[in-house]
Structures are given as C-alpha cells and as structure tokens.
C-alpha cells in the first residue's frame, strides 16, 4: 500500500529526514517511536503534503502512485488521512458543515453520489456514537474552544467519517487522560480492517497497550534505526531511548 524509499526532507535548509525506508501493507498497524526531535512529526507532515518541507530525495509510493506529486487534497481523496497533533481551530465553520463538504469531495473523487443532508446526518449520528460525541458538539465551530481531548476525539471521528485507507495518527495520545485514551483507541480499533492500514506516531508506549501494533520502528535523527515487533515498544519503555542511541554508536 505505502512504500517509502530513502525519503529525505528538510525545512529552512536544515535536513530533518535523512533517508527513511518503510513499507506498509493493508491490514497492518505500524508504530513509529522515537525521542523528541527525531523527525516523527515531520514524516507525518511530509506524507500529508504540508508545504513547509522541501523533499530533497527519495520517493513515496501509495498504491503505486507517486504520493509526493499530489496536492494535500488529492492525497486525501486517494485515502490518506492525517490525525493532526495540533488540530487547528476554525471559527465560523461548523464541524458538521466542514465534514459534509469534505466527505462529498472524497465521494466525488471515488465516483460516488453526493450524500444529501439526511443521509449525511444518519452517517454522522452513527459515527458520533462510536466516538461518544454529542451531536450538538458537531454544530460548534471546528475545534474552537475544544479541550485537547475533544480535539483529538474529533480527529478520530473525522477519520471514521472519511473512512481512509491509510491513517497517520500524529501523537494522538498526547494530552489525553486515560478515559479519553480508551475512547480514542476503541475508535481506532473498530475502524481496523484487512483493507486499511495505520501508522501510529507516538512518544510513549502507553498508547500501544490499547492499539496493538504489528510493527514498531524507532526513528532517531531522521532515520529508522531499529525495527521489531510489539515487544520492542516494551523494551523501549523499560530501557529508554539511550539504549538505542548506544546501539547506533553514540
């Protein structure tokens, strides 16, 4: 599904990603861990197409198409979803209206019919229930005045609505208390299928107790320095990142 080959990217002339290689197949969950500043969020942003980054080398194929050539909306239409670490607040645009517009754009791309207000409402009710979100909440301006936990829940709710092929969750667990973490994890788990894949970007092992990854990768100084199964996460939790740093010879 996703194939990242020797991806290099920099921001304002400073190289952040120094050759990332990663393959993600349908049905898989990959966790990318690493200390602060290792390039985790940059990877997420580059995959979603944020303009601030300059791609200096390598390629990213998504279902054999060149992802890096696509605009952010094209990537979304193809099925790439980024749950933002810091979702923006957009005063005056209700979550409901925003999602209806987005969903119909995605459907247009897929050659599906536009949803009318009734069908949309039905779908929204169903997914809102999944994320334990009240409908009145969705009439409020997008993320405006939401708490950190509400914003993150809203991100996963949007993911449920748009039903992407590849979801990238950027530090979705940060700032969540244990109850919110459970709701978010339940949401993500219930959306898992053999046709879609998830990349979890996280600093802590805690999230992985709830969303069990198939693979764990350690990103350090812009490179994946170690990969393994879910037990790698536990080892990192127990021994910290210094151990990995030592292994790569620092």
Q: Residue 200 and residue 164: Cα distance in Å, rounded?
A: 14
Interaction between residue 225 and another protein (CB under 8 A): no
- Residue in the block written with tokens 């400073």: 14
Tell me, by CB under 8 A, how many residues bind another protein. Answer: 41
What's the min distance (Å) between Cβ of 141 and another protein?
8
* 109 lines the binding site for another protein (CB under 8 A): yes
Q: Does 84 bind another protein (CB under 8 A)?
A: yes
CA angle 103, 82, 120 (to 5 degrees): 20
Is position 93 an interface residue for another protein (rule: CB under 8 A)? yes
Using CB under 8 A as the binding rule, whether residue 162 contacts another protein is answered as: yes
Examine residue 163 and tell whether it contacts another protein (CB under 8 A): no
Residue 79 or residue 213: which is nearer to another protein going by CB? 79
Give dist(CA 20, CA 219) in Å, integer.
9
* Bridge partners, residue 57, by sequence: 8
The helix (run of H) or strand (run of E) holding residue 121 is helix 117-130
139 binds another protein (CB under 8 A): yes
Which span sits near another protein by CB under 8 A: 138-146, 175-183, 211-219, 231-239? 138-146
Interface with another protein, residue 135, by CB under 8 A:
yes
238 binds another protein (CB under 8 A): no
- Report 192-211 residues binding another protein (CB under 8 A): none
Rule CB under 8 A: is residue 49 a binding residue for another protein?
Answer: yes
Of 215, 220, 188, 191, nearest to 203 (Cα)?
A: 220
Among 6, 71, 189, 195, binds another protein (CB under 8 A): 71
Q: Other CB atoms closer than 10 Å to residue 167's CB: what's the count?
A: 25
Residue closest to 141 by CA, chosen among 105, 217, 88: 88
Q: How far apart are CA 28 and CA 69, in angstroms?
A: 25
- Burial class of residue 186 in the structure, from the number of CB atoms within 10 Å of its CB (0-12 exposed, 13-18 middle, 19+ buried): middle
The one among 25, 101, 147, 195 contacting another protein by CB under 8 A: 101
Q: Which of 63, 65, 72, 179 binds another protein (CB under 8 A)?
A: 72
93: left (phi over 0), alpha (psi -120 to 50) or beta: beta
Q: Rule CB under 8 A: which residues touch another protein? A: 48-51, 71-73, 75-77, 81-82, 84, 87-88, 90-94, 96-103, 105-106, 109, 117, 121, 124, 135-136, 138-139, 141, 158, 162
């Amino acid at each position: 599904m996703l194939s990242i080959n020797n991806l290099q990217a920099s921001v304002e002339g400073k190289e952040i990603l120094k050759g990332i290689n990663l393959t993600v197949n349908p049905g898989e969950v990959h966790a990318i861990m690493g200390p602060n500043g290792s390039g985790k969020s940059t990877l997420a942003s580059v995959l979603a197409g944020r303009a601030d980054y300059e791609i200096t080398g390598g390629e990213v194929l998504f279902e054999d198409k060149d992802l890096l050539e696509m605009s952010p909306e094209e990537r979304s239409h193809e099925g790439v979803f980024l749950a933002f670490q810091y979702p923006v607040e957009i005063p005056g645009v209700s979550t409901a209206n925003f999602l209806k517009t987005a969903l119909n754009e995605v459907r247009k791309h897929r050659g599906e019919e536009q949803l009318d207000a009734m069908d949309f409402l039905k779908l929204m009710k169903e997914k809102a229930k999944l994320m334990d979100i009240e409908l009145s909440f969705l009439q409020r301006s997008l993320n405006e005045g939401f708490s950190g936990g509400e914003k993150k829940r809203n991100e996963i709710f949007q993911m449920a609505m748009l039903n992407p092929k590849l979801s990238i969750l950027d530090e979705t667990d940060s700032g969540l208390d244990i109850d919110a973490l459970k709701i978010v994890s339940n949401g993500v788990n219930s959306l898992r299928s053999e046709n879609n894949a998830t990349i979890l970007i996280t600093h802590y092992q805690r999230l992985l107790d709830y969303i069990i990854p198939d693979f764990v990768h350690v990103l350090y100084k812009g490179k994946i320095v170690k990969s393994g199964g879910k037990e790698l996460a536990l080892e990192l939790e127990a021994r910290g990142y210094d151990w990995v740093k030592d292994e790569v010879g620092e």
